[in-house]
Copies of this chain bind each other. A is one copy, B any other.
Amino acid sequence: MSMENAHLCLDAGCAINARTLGGDMHGHEIKVTFQPSGRSVYVLPGTVLLEAAGRAGVILQTPCGGKGTCGKCRVRLVDTPPVPSAASVGILSPKQVEEGYRLACCTPVDAPLVVDVPAESTFESQQQILTDDSGADVEVSPLVHKRRFELPLPSSEDPRADLVRLRAILGDIDVSPELMRLMSAFLRANEWKGTAVLSNNHLVALEAGDTTDDGYGVAVDLGSTTVVGKLFDLVSGRECGVASAINPQVTFGDDVISRIMHVRENDDGLAALQASAVECLNTIVDDLVSQAGIRADEVYEIVLAGNSTMQQILCGYDPSALGEVPFVQAFEQAQILSASDLGLKVNDAAEVYVFPQIGSFVGGDTVAGIVAARLDRWDKPVLFVDIGTNGEIVLANGDQLLATSTAAGPAFEGARIRQGMRATAGAIEKVIIREDVDINVIGDAPPAGLCGTALIDAAADLLRTGIIDETGRILPADELPAGIPEALQSRLITEGNETRFVLAPAEDAAGDEAICLWQKDVRELQLASGAVRAGIQIMLQRAGVEPDAIHRVLLAGAFGNFIRRSNARRIGLLPQIPGDRIRFIGNAASLGAKLVLLSDRERAYAAQLQEQTEHIDLSLDPEFQMAFGMAMIFPTSDIDACED
């Protein structure tokens, strides 16, 4: 039984059995808490634990595609574990079962749970293992590293220059004039010993005593909307905290184009946007260092991955040319900047690494993602897809890497959808349409609108029922095919030529208005989905790869995590391939940033992948225009909600 089988088939029966259990349930939803991160989510009863984990940002390994055969997704349920599934019993040892271990892919949630997630069950651990063919974890060898030193004292027999003396121990290091100004006094005040902080062969700082155990770095996923920073111990590689914030640049416009416009139209526009991003990063760093109980000046390196516009703005490089034909970026190779020059409040000598970029709309976050996915190391064709306002698509076919971006538009993020909203509290995030409609709402709130995943769910299920036809039209009640349940028929409202479908009636909703899927919403979805689908199609053509030959689709990014694969395939967003070939890889950009922060080999690997990846610009490609037009029609598909 695959994950979604388990989930959806159980849902149908359990949804109405929801109990109310103090703070652990909200309406229909049940609280699941994951350890050691402590993150909690509320899910509908019957939701498979694997998916609940994904919702909480805990991406588990599923090499078998969630079929219950590989045993990689095992977790331990604290307190009262449910009766184990047959798969759990078959794969796990009796002792493990007794201790509460279960396979997350085969375990439905029907009561509040606290779940211990072993590190080896997470996707990140899988990725670390991938870095080394021998199966070892990612080698922690950050560019920034420390070395304890003790120099022989100068004497008349050995009057070498201070720098010569230091180099004799630390190798042929570069020392900036700023540090040269401190070096001589430091060495004399500290009896010629201390700890050197080095970045590659560049001396970053000198510290008194032995501080080789203290050294931190921050890996940042610099999104247009959300900025996530993770603090890492550069000695052990251990993650010491996560902090996130809304990118305050949203006050200048939601999407990158409006921010580029702000730069073009205001003399101080770039400076204002840059300052805004810097302030946000400082807030995140503040949060991280207070969480970890360290000082900000123990942070020696920041690695940043963002889209090209975010990256260029942070660097202070004018992004104007990213916003007009022929869409030219300022740089391709990684940029190294001084943290203090940027106004970042970390160690004065800290460097900021900004990821290489492939194209104007295939930025550093994509490079970070393909680093995390080891995209050049698969021996069969693999598609990397990160769906947001832009859908970034990278096709790996052996050594050949092709990357493009399609303007999916903001539909998946809830924008331009009549009652759309971001995936925050009050958003319908999941819709199941069978005899009637079942919905899941984020947080402890009545439904206020729908977010991108609900849009896909609703459209897919309405396609399945026949209420939406292949052209995307929501049929009025009098044109429906036979056999549509009465409950669904009663949800159709037709005004003039257009029909809408009620997802939540006015009496259940936050406002005084029913939450509906409108005809125009379906059109927006067709545009967004068609752009990605056409993009994938052209990429496959360019590489001469048949859709059937796709070995994996790796879905990256927060949105990707929450998509129901069967529904994404039903509306044509993803290729019509078996569901077990589609994998969620979580926040790959963040993982890539972490890898580069912790290992200089990963940094070289990022440079290599950027170099290796060919950028395909689809914006003016006539073939793409044709494919895009064709992709407006929803695919004829026999993919059922329970099929994968």
Contacts and interface: CB of A to CB of B under 8 A. Distances in A.
A159 B618 CA distance: 12
Contact of A337 (B163, B177, B184, B619): B177
B159 A316 contact: no
A298 to B, nearest CB: 24
Contacts of A331: 161-164, 180
Given A156-B619, A188-B321, A316-B177, A162 B328 contact: yes
Contact of A160 (B155, B158, B328, B333): B328
A183 interface: yes
A257 to B, nearest CB: 17
Give the size range of A's interface with the partner.
35 or more
A180 B327 contact: no
Interface string A166-187: 0000000000010011011100
Contacts of A315: 177, 180-181
A124 to B, nearest CB: 31
Contact of A617 (B159, B321, B326, B357): B159
B360 A318 contact: no
Interface in A305-339: 315-318, 320-321, 325-333, 335, 337-338
Contacts of A154: 321, 326, 328
A341 interface: yes
A340 B308 CA distance: 31
A149 to B, nearest CB: 17
A620 interface: yes
Nearest to A338: B177
A326 B155 contact: yes
B330 A161 contact: yes
A359 interface: yes
A159 B360 contact: yes
Contacts of A325: 156
A556 B183 CA distance: 33
Contacts of A177: 315-316, 335, 337-338, 341
A182 to B, nearest CB: 9
A416 B335 CA distance: 59
A333 to B, nearest CB: 8
Contacts of A156: 325-326, 617, 619-620
Contacts of A162: 321, 328-331
Interface string A334-374: 01011001000000000000000101100000000000000
Contacts of A330: 161-163, 180, 183-184
Nearest to A274: B181
A500 to B, nearest CB: 39
Contact of A181 (B318, B333, B359): B318
Interface in A116-161: 154-156, 158-161
Contacts of A164: 331-332
A181 to B, nearest CB: 5
A104 to B, nearest CB: 43
B337 A159 contact: no
B332 A163 contact: yes
Contacts of A341: 177
Nearest to A317: B180
Contacts of A318: 181, 184-185
Contacts of A181: 315-318
Given A154-B328, A326-B154, A328-B154, A335 B159 contact: no
Contact of A184 (B321, B333, B357): B321
A251 B335 CA distance: 46
A59 to B, nearest CB: 32
A316 B184 CA distance: 11
A451 to B, nearest CB: 33
Q: Which of A154, A331, A619, A620 lies at the interface centre, i.e. has the most chain B CB atoms within 10 A of its CB?
A: A331
A360 B184 CA distance: 14
Contacts of A619: 156
A227 to B, nearest CB: 20
A181 B164 CA distance: 36
Nearest to A181: B316
A308 to B, nearest CB: 9
Contacts of A332: 160-161, 163-164
Contacts of A184: 317-318, 320-321, 330
A184 B331 CA distance: 10
A84 to B, nearest CB: 55
A163 B162 CA distance: 38
Q: Which of A159, A162, A359, A620 lies at the interface centre, i.e. has the most chain B CB atoms within 10 A of its CB?
A: A159
Given A180-B315, A321-B184, A328 B159 contact: yes
Nearest to A621: B156
A369 to B, nearest CB: 19
A404 B335 CA distance: 45
A9 B311 CA distance: 80
A304 to B, nearest CB: 13
A535 B327 CA distance: 70
Closest 3 CB pairs of A and B: A159-B326, A163-B331, A156-B326
6 contacts: A156-B617, A180-B315, A180-B330, A181-B316, A181-B318, A183-B317
